[in-house]
Amino acid sequence: MPSLADLTELIVFVLLAAGVVVGSLGVVLLPNIVYSAFLLGGVFLSVAGLYLLLNASFIAAAQVLIYVGAVNVLILFAIMLVNKREPLADAPGLGLRRLLSSGVCAGLLWLLLRVAYTTPWATPGPTPLGEDAVVRLGEHFFTDYLLPFELASVLLLMAMIGAIVLARRDVFASDIGTGEEADQGLIEKARTPLLIEKSRP
Amino acid sequence: MTLPSLSDLTPVPLEAFLTVAALLFCIGVWGLINSRNAVRVLMSIELMLNGVNINLMAFSSHLDGQEIRGQVYAIFVITVAAAEAAVGLAILLSLYRNRETVDMERFNLLRW
């Protein structure tokens, strides 16, 4: 009979895994995208719980801060900004595509599970570090992973500038599409979309 | 093949985490292919990245407990995912301004 701590760990794992799987199914399948976004937050929190079970408290905290705090809020903002209810026109071959992709995903799942269950993993490995993991992470970042660490900061800066450039509307003195004087104000104003005529058949 | 007993499952084995990660990844792939809404496509990408991260963390804890290189990689994945989310949503916003739709079937300018 396993000890009480092990049993608790197993029960918590089962609950978190069920939360992850059911939540992600909800994200993909629910018709209302706002429910999907909130369920996505639930999935991120459950994944953070799994990280806690895997002796990684720092990554769990980073997961909550970055995914739940930043990415999920960003997705909610995007839903708010593109909030238009439109009836989706039927596309040809959608049912066939759904069937084929379900087959591909089931095959991929079978492959991944087969790899996971037939490989003789070298468990148990070394004893996990526990709370000293943060110290070891810091050592890694400032010795053997210094270059990727610095590159990550450059990547984040580039992503920030790129997002601003892409999402801001008028950065040119004159509009490159129409040639008229561009409005440099920060508030969104109504304007005819450039490609809307071409998209209508 | 016999069912594992309760004492085999404690502490939680590596395969259990890999199973959850595989399920999460496959659900993400399915959503990526089948979603009509562009925001949902971005959410599916986040699901896939989280599945990969669970894999990295599971290996880091079970096979590499002293050096924890898996956690280092997980941090880099989280960084890239944050950058991807910001740029992806900016592209989505720009697309929405020019097409006035988020339907993936109607982003067909480069399709033959």
The 10s digit of each residue's pLDDT in B34-52 is 998 899 999 999 999 999 9
CB-based contact, B49 to chain A, within 8 Å: no
* CB-nearest partner of B72 from A140, A160, A163: A140
Residue A41 has pLDDT above 90, yes or no: yes
Query: N- to C-terminal Cα distance for chain A?
Result: 68
Band of pLDDT at residue A147, cut at 50, 70 and 90: very high
Q: Which residues contact A66 (CB under 8 A, 6 or more apart)?
A: B78, B81, B82
pLDDT at residue A166, as a whole number: 85
In SS3 terms, A113-165 reads as: HHHHHHCCCCCCCCCCCHHHHHHHHHHHHHCCCHHHHHHHHHHHHHHHHHHHH
**Model confidence, pTM:** 0.86
Torsion A31-A37-A42-A47 (CA) sign: positive
What are the start-end ranges of the H helices in chain A?
A: 4-29, 33-53, 57-63, 72-81, 94-118, 133-142, 146-167, 196-199
Q: What is the mean pLDDT of residues A43-49?
A: 96
Chain B nearest-CA distance from A194, in A, is 5
| A141 inside 8 A of chain B by CB | yes
Is A63 in the B-facing interface, judged by CB distances under 8 Å? yes
**What does the mean pLDDT of chain A come to?**
86
Residue B103: per-residue pLDDT: 83
Put simply, whether A173 touches B (Cβ < 8 Å) is: no
- Measured CA to CA, the distance from residue A51 to residue A16 in angstroms comes to 10
Instruction: Tell me what pLDDT residue A173 has.
Output: 65
Chain A hits for B4, CB-CB cut-off 8 Å, are none
What contacts B41, CB < 8 A, 6 or more positions away? Answer: B31, B32, B35, B104
| Confidence (pLDDT) at A60 | 94
d(CA B38, CA B32): 9
Strand partners, A181: A174
Contact call for residues B43 and A37 (beta carbons, < 8 A) = yes
pLDDT at A141 > cutoff 80 = yes
Contact A24, B28 (CB under 8 A): yes
Q: Is the peptide bond before B11 cis (omega within 30 degrees of 0)?
A: yes
Tell which residue, A159, A162, A181, has the closest CA to residue A170: A181
A68/B82 Cα distance (integer angstroms): 11
